[in-house]
Amino acid sequence: MNDWKPSPEYQKVVDANRRFYEQAAALYDTSETCVKDGRIQQHLEADLDRILAIIGPTQGGIRALDACGGSGNVALKLLRRGVDVTLVDVSPELLEIFRNRCGTLGMTPRIVCSEIGSFLAETSQRFDLIVFSSALHHLENIGHVLRLAFHCLAPRGLLYTVFDPTSSSRLHSATRLLKRLEYFAFKLFWQPGDLPASIMRRLRRVISGVSARRKSDAVLSKATAGLLAEYHAERGIDDLALVAELRTAGFEVVWHDRYADSRFDLTRRIIERIGDLTSFKLLLRRSGSSSTQA
């Protein structure tokens, strides 16, 4: 799959992720909800146990790719379960955090600093499990990258995605407002040191006319790096359309869970009462053939 030719927009988003985490790697690793929240960590541990049980024993052990794995939220859990792990991420700063943590624990995974589409297109490795954790919303072209991942799976291999938002267009206005207010509360209580800079970045974007609905017009800068890096965070992902697309690529759906989730338990309970589903996770299996090439 060496014909990978990312668009200029895709490359801009890659550069934005690299630039954003130059500054935010440590902050992300010490405060981001999907990394630090105990309830969420318990659910992730349970999912990984279920997934490894589905894969079962394999000759030579289970080989896993933590795609866009950052500081190793998933990779460390897999390593503790005896899985042979390769972690790929575009951020040297996040990888250094992971590398230091592995050194302290005496673990030796393969660590690759690369844009994930290029890695998937060029590697000859085949994996029993590929994980995208809090990653899809950082990819400008999600479908193309996951079709590349399809070809890197061993026969009947599994692809797991988690911690991504559903489309905001399907949510009630009350939920959208609640999530915006919650984000500011999160910055205030969990990232107070970054709050003034966050407000200034937002003001600069407003002044320059950059918004979540006009990202294609945005020039990459310090003020826009975060907005571009989390490319689908505000508008979310149409997971229903994505699953339909991935079925045509040859994936079988093992599970497609849509659920209410949030940074704070109170917010999550309110959203559940409203009846909205704000997050999704997928477990997909590579079938025997593919009708669509990446």
For residue 126, give its domain range: 8-169+233-286
pLDDT at 260: 97
Q: What is the mean pLDDT of residues 233-255?
A: 96
Residue 138 maps to a domain? yes
Q: Is the dihedral of CA 285, 62, 163, 19 positive or negative?
A: negative
214 within domain boundaries: no
Could you tell me if residue 22 is inside a domain? yes
Per-residue pLDDT at 204: 78
CA dist 53 to 36, 37, 46, 57, 62, Å? 25, 25, 11, 8, 11
The residue with tokens 């349970």 is 46
Extract long-range pairs of 181-184: CB within 8 Å, 24+ residues apart. 182/262, 182/263, 182/264, 182/267, 183/263
Q: What is the pLDDT of residue 219?
A: 87
Q: How much is the pLDDT for 141?
A: 96
At 32, which CATH number? 3.40.50.150
> Could you report the per-residue pLDDT of 94-106, keeping only the tens digit for each?
999 999 999 999 9
- Residue 280's beta-bridge partner residues? 164, 258
CA distance 232 to 209: 18
For residues 102 and 72, is the Cβ–Cβ distance under 8 A?
yes
Q: In the prediction, which pLDDT does 287 show?
A: 84
Q: Write the pLDDT tens digit of every residue in 31-87.
A: 999 999 999 999 999 999 999 999 999 988 999 999 999 999 999 999 999 999 999
Residue 204 tokens read as 């600069």
Q: Which tens digit of pLDDT belongs to each residue from 277-294?
A: 999 999 999 986 443 333
Any domain includes 25:
yes
Q: What percent of the chain has pLDDT over 70?
A: 96
The answer to whether residue 223 is domain-embedded is no
Q: How many domains does the chain have?
A: 1
Q: Say yes or no to pLDDT of 196 above 90.
A: no
